[in-house]
Amino acid sequence: MNTKDVNATGSNTTKPNIAFIGLGNMGAPMAENLLKAGYALSVYDLSEDATQRLQQAGASVADSPKDAANNAQVVISMLPAGKHVHSVYLGDSGLLANLPKGTLVIDSSTIAAADARTVAEAASELGIDFLDAPVSGGTGGAIAGSLTFIVGGSDDAFAKAEPILAVMGKNIFHAGDHGAGQVAKICNNMLLGILMAGTAEAINLGVKNGLDPKVLSDIMLQSSGRNWTLEVYNPYPQVMENVPSSNGYQGGFMSKLMQKDLNLAMQTAQDTNVETPMGAKATELYEAHTVENGDRDFSSIMGRHDASLLS
């Protein structure tokens, strides 16, 4: 292993070389924003189409995560699940065993807090700064560079990462120590799943009793039932413009991703012996819903009450 010390953020005039691993719907536009800001990127993904897209934007393409990280002072990853994060970073052939001491690693995958802490502990033993930095804001936020980053890790590592994260996001929170970013992310998304399921249920009750969904939504917006789903993401079709419910529930945040985050919340609750009965019910509802609607936006839970809305 190379134990050479490196400066993760470079000097005031020199941007660090960045390895970006995982170029899916979120990772690709995040990487593109870094390129636009003048960072040198080496990228890796299993998808040839994804790597060609970044190559055309100015990135160099690597044949493996290890090759991507060669000569990089910063590594950023956006991977589907905890098992992929473990595979990339841990073990004798993982990145951590091959990165120089002082490298800054930012993992923006949404995974279990326990998985993030396992990788962070292994990184710390090797003198590598690790941050769990899951995001909120969806593909639109990734494209616009307006994501919210919820970061767990040391103060020093956060300070090094903040200028880089600011290229890809507008709101950057230091939630606490390792794993805190993941905990905060899944708490937020558990509440979002509960709110969306409850809002759909309330609107359905009104509609089935003769109320106009827009009128009812306006009433609740000015009353104590007001919440984010009513303000900017109404689940009933044609109540609000430019939201997935008015576009056949296409785009936005897929139901299967909400289901993934709810499952992570339930795993964390179980690991820490915390009761989450409403979260458990939302998880149950989305689990049934995603069987046939996993690729639809999570507001399509409205169709649970009226299947014709999904036709």
Instruction: Give me the DSSP letters along the chain.
Output: -------TT--SS-PPPEEEE--STTHHHHHHHHHHTT--EEEE-S-HHHHHHHHHHT-EE-SSHHHHHTT-SEEEE--SSHHHHHHHHSSTTSGGGGSPTT-EEEE-----HHHHHHHHHHHHHTT-EEEE--EESHHHHHHHT-EEEEEES-HHHHHHHHHHHHHHEEEEEEEESTTHHHHHHHHHHHHHHHHHHHHHHHHHHHHTTT--HHHHHHHHHTSTT--HHHHH--SSTTSSTTSGGGGTT-SSSBHHHHHHHHHHHHHHHHHTT---HHHHHHHHHHHHHHHHHTTSBGGGGGGGT-GGGG-
Residue 185 is among the residues annotated as catalytic for this protein: yes
Point out the catalytic residue in the list 15, 160, 185, 260: 185
Q: Which residues are catalytic?
A: 185
